[in-house]
Amino acid sequence: MEVQPIEGQTGTVNQFLTFLLGAEEYGIDILMVQEIRGYSAVTPIPNAPPHVRGIMNLRGTVVPVVDLRAKFGMPPVEYGKFTVIIVVMVGAKIAGLVVDAVSDVLNISQADVRPAPDLGARCDTRFISGVVSIADKLAVLLDIQRLLTEEEMAGTSGGN
């Protein structure tokens, strides 16, 4: 069953799952999210990039697990009781994203989404679909299809 965006007074409204990495808030399209699981140990894969933590068994399906802190070059932290794995579907493939905590599900009008800032050639922002103001801070909306490379989705080594 495909969920259609809600037509609002200010244009199309999409739902985003927001989550924290440190003090920063990020969001992904709720339609990409399959489930949210408490963090549990994963099986490491030899020669995988540092941000690919390994693989997990999800009801018989082997799923690569990517630590978004490591992917974004953030300092590592010890996983705690709020650490979760967001299981996302990208095309026909499934991946797990380790995040510090899940925040909320928000209805965000397309009119409220600002384009990703141009931070120059040395800063890759292709995976940012936009920025939105939530209360008194900004949340970065991520394009999961651009964020996860083929190697990560396959759970194999390689680089990006």
Q: How does 74-90 read in b/e, with b if 16+ C-beta sit within 10 Å?
A: eeeeebeeebbbbbbee
Task: State how many domains the chain has.
Answer: 1
Task: Tabulate helix, strand, coil % of the chain (nearest 5).
Answer: 10, 50, 40
Using the predicted structure, report yes or no on whether residue 21 has a pLDDT greater than 80.
Answer: yes
Domain CATH for 135: 2.40.50.180
147: nearest Cα among 78, 64, 80:
64
Q: What is the pTM of this model?
A: 0.83
Residue type, 80: G
Residue-range definition of the domain harbouring residue 114: 6-150
Which has the minimum average pLDDT: 21-25, 47-51, 150-154? 150-154
- The answer to whether residue 156 sits within a structural domain is no
- The answer to whether residue 110 sits within a structural domain is yes
Would you tell me how many other CB atoms lie within 10 Å of the CB of residue 138? 13
Look at residue 158 in the predicted model and tell me its pLDDT.
Answer: 42
Q: Which two tokens stand for residue 47?
A: 């020669």
Comparison of pLDDT for 7 and 139, the residue scoring more: 139
Rounded to an integer, the average pLDDT of 133-159 is 75
Using the predicted structure, report yes or no on whether residue 120 has a pLDDT greater than 70.
Answer: no
Could you tell me the pLDDT band of residue 155, with boundaries at 50, 70 and 90? low
- The answer to whether residue 41 sits within a structural domain is yes
Rounded to an integer, the average pLDDT of 7-17 is 71
Residues with Cβ < 8 Å from 141, sequence gap 6 or more?
Answer: 16, 26, 27, 28, 108, 113, 128, 129, 130, 131, 132
